[in-house]
Amino acid sequence: MTESIDEIRIERAQGIGFIALNRPKALNALSTPMLHAIHRALNAWRDDPLVHAVVIYSPHPRAFCAGGDIRFLYQSAKAGEHAVIEEFFTDEYRLNHAIFTYPKPYIALLNGVVMGGGMGISQGARHTGGVRVVTGSTKMAMPETRIGLFPDVGVSWFLARTPGAIGRYLAATGATIDAADALYAGLADAYMDDDALPALIDTLKEKPFATGAEVVRFIETQSRSPGGKASELERERGFIDRHFATGNGAACLTSLESVTGGEESEWAVRTAAELRERSPLSVDVSLELIDRAKTSSMAETLRRDLGLTRATFDHGDVMEGIRARIVDKDNQPVWKVARMEDVTRDAVVRMYDSPWAERDHPLAALAD
């Protein structure tokens, strides 16, 4: 099977299905055709005895995948095409679930920018018996609170299972982490140098493999310790746990702004300033999301995400956030609630009201 559209190339070789993201000018941001092509390939390979594993990668050095096509969603919302937005997120979340529950090892090679939807098509790899490989160029984040959204695509499930309060910290601040951080947080499994990836792909296409586990073992033998710079998340773990373990955005800010003196003070000032730039409502929604994901299945998490996407477009901050950060780029968003201290609990809980009865949910068929 070989399928090639402008934005993606799908092929099979030596018992492995390969998915190459090929939209470099948009940093491989996911379009609807890309989502459909990936899902078709996974469906075709699921029961094919000649396909033992799947590898998804980017042949472009700047990015694995920067997320979903935010401009497309913004333009659709401006045109009143709400069904188009819902279809995009429904298709994306179905794909995220298909990856998470895939019966064969799914392997993600994560160079460059890995954000938003890029996390959604990679984090499930570990759950399949596959592996998430990061490199020296990896820049990983869920920066959604910066545009008035929340960490969707099921990633709250993974963030909720990171050490200590790291998941809440990453969800609220949208902080970007590197390879060492991703490995420490359990959001990656192995490291390779960037210049080793093309040779790895070539070898995987030429070397015969009898099982998916054999493919994974081979990749793991090619990996190494990242060396060099230590994980900043590990170094700052005590600070993160102290200020982000519990409470809403206002409570985290109060805790941060109470610090005086020393290295922690510098970190706290910087982190508080970052929080102040985010959508206050989105920060509280995101912290709540991580707390709920701790006891949720992936199917429940994705169903919750879909309801939240509608809420954020209907009465949240996402349209203003996209306008200010991506479209007009004036970086002066006018949030619906201006200060973190003014977000009410009722406003947060209201965002979680599902617009569908349980049996009518577009993702009702996802298995727990």
CA distances in angstroms from 251 to 41, 255, 258, listed in the order given: 46, 6, 11
Residue type, 112: G
- pTM for the structure as a whole: 0.96
- Residue 365 forms part of a structural domain: no
For 201-233, the pLDDT digits (tens) are 999 999 999 999 999 999 999 999 887 778 999
- Residue 367 forms part of a structural domain: no
pLDDT at 225: 87
- Residue 81 forms part of a structural domain: yes
- Residue 366 forms part of a structural domain: no
Q: Alpha-carbon dihedral of residues 48, 51, 55, 59, nearest 10 degrees? A: -100
pLDDT at 246: 97
pLDDT at 2: 60
Tokens of 44: 């075709």
Phi, psi (degrees; rounded to nearest 5) at 81: -90, 65
- Residue 44 forms part of a structural domain: yes
pLDDT at 3: 60
pLDDT at 275: 97
pLDDT at 4: 62
What's the total number of domains in the chain? 1
The CATH number covering residue 14 comes to: 3.90.226.10
- Low pLDDT (below 50) residues in the chain: none
pLDDT at 1: 56
- Containing domain of residue 273, as a range? 3-360
